[in-house]
Structure 1
Amino acid sequence: MSTSVTALTLDGLDRLPAHTRRCVFWELDPAVAADSHAFSDPVFEKEAWLSTVMLEWGSCGQVAQVDNNIAGCALYSPPSAVPRSTLFPTSPVSPDAVLLTTLQAEFPYDEADVAHRLVQAVVADLVRRGVRALEAFGIRNGPPTTSVADRGIGSSMRLMERIAAPLRDRAAATHCTPETCMIDADFLEDVGFEVVAQHHRFPRLRLELDTDHGWKEDVERALDQLLAAAQIRIPVTSGRT
């Protein structure tokens, strides 16, 4: 099987996986999401958000394909375009970072391979654009910690309730919950992210893009492939008539 990753475009929004097209966990203001009338068409809301970010900021997504079948996607943007990013106990995102919000691999494809390739493509795009870092709010699905440090976060539980509550009533229809719409923290650490704001449930992680963090060779290889693909090959003729 051959896996390829290409940037999301305005005329290619229908290439997104079904869940991603309907999920507005990150994109809608929680106060708006709580209003079922305003939240009646998540596909429209998602496409409107993507279109706005692409027109104002540029590329904000990568789509993976395996043998021309959609295998996954990654979405990222300035944190100012992501209303829910302000609600986490580990907020805010660093001012020099772009926020990775979505990293999804589709069944039955190799989740680890697809996700790894998507992160490669995101990093290559952001390095080309001069971005210093990529951050993400990870989720840990293990048992709650009993450490004194985590218990001492006074408003943590209230913040977590605000993160999840606006979409809970519509979860059956849209499947938008922290568990389905956030990136596993362990995976983020596996691909080079480091925890910069610790939390037992929602740590914030960061990947530096201006240092040798292990992605350098992969990014350079990806850029070389892009340049090679862009070159126009002129056919050689013998000159005979």
Structure 2
Amino acid sequence: MLRIRKVDDANFKDIPSPCNHCLYWQSSEEVDEKMLKREMEQEKREWLTTVIREFGNCGFIAYVNRVPIGFIQYAPKTFFPRIKEYASGPPSEDAVFLACLYIAAEEARGKGLGSAMLENLLVELRKREVKAVETFARKNSENNPSGPLELYL
């Protein structure tokens, strides 16, 4: 059974790896390779706390039979400095940026879980009267943290 829960301090520990320590979008520089995963997790937790305080919910964890298998992360572009490095330009002012929609368990991919997570996100953002959602997806990578391009078509 699929359950999708908002990320909070109590369930932060359930965010699947590598999402629980990924700081790609939150940073405009390369993450120090010497930084320990637990330090990266702490930085991620602090980032999530800040975004929740300033924007509201910014992530969901997907569980199948109580096992965390996926993560989705989003917020206004101001919370993601890395966006500035992309040639396609930043998301529009009224958009929320979908930084990550990732099914960590490879055996769970291609079964509609990403689509369910995306639909859950869209329902949430409609309630919050968000006008648009934008992301960067790749044509040739199913392992892309934003999910495959086909997910959005």
What residue identity is the alignment partner of 1:76?
Answer: Y
Which aligned pairs between 1:95-114 and structure 2 lie closer than 5 A? 95-107=93-105, 108-114=107-113
Give 1:82 shift. 0.3
When the two structures are superposed, what TM-score results if normalisation uses the length of structure 1? 0.57
Report the equivalent of 2:46: 48
State the Cα RMSD in Å.
1.9
Aligned to 1:81: 79
> Which residue of 1 is the match for residue 148 of structure 2?
184
| Residues 36/104 of structure 1: CA separation in 2 closer, same or farther (3 Å cut) | closer
Offset, 1:125: 0.8
Residue 55 of structure 1 deviates from its aligned partner by 1.3
Tell me how far 1:121 sits from its aligned partner: 1.0
Give structure 2 stretches of 5+ with no counterpart.
Answer: none
Paired position in structure 2 for 1:19: 18
Q: Name stretches of at least 5 consecutive residues in structure 1 with no aligned partner.
A: 143-178, 190-241
What is the DSSP-based 3-state SS (H/G/I as helix, E as strand, rest coil) of the residue aligned with 2:88? coil
> Between Structure 1 and Structure 2, how many residues are aligned?
149
Letter in 1 for 2:4: V
In terms of fraction of residues, the more helix-rich structure is 1
CA distance in 1, matches of 2:84, 2:109: 32
Matched residues in 2 for 1:119 and 1:89: separation? 25
2:58 aligned with 1:94, yes or no?
no
Segment of structure 1 superposing worse, 14-23 or 179-188: 179-188
> Deviating runs (4+, > 6 A) in structure 1?
none
The structure whose Rg is larger is 1
Q: TM-score, normalised by structure 2?
A: 0.87
Aligned to 1:151: none
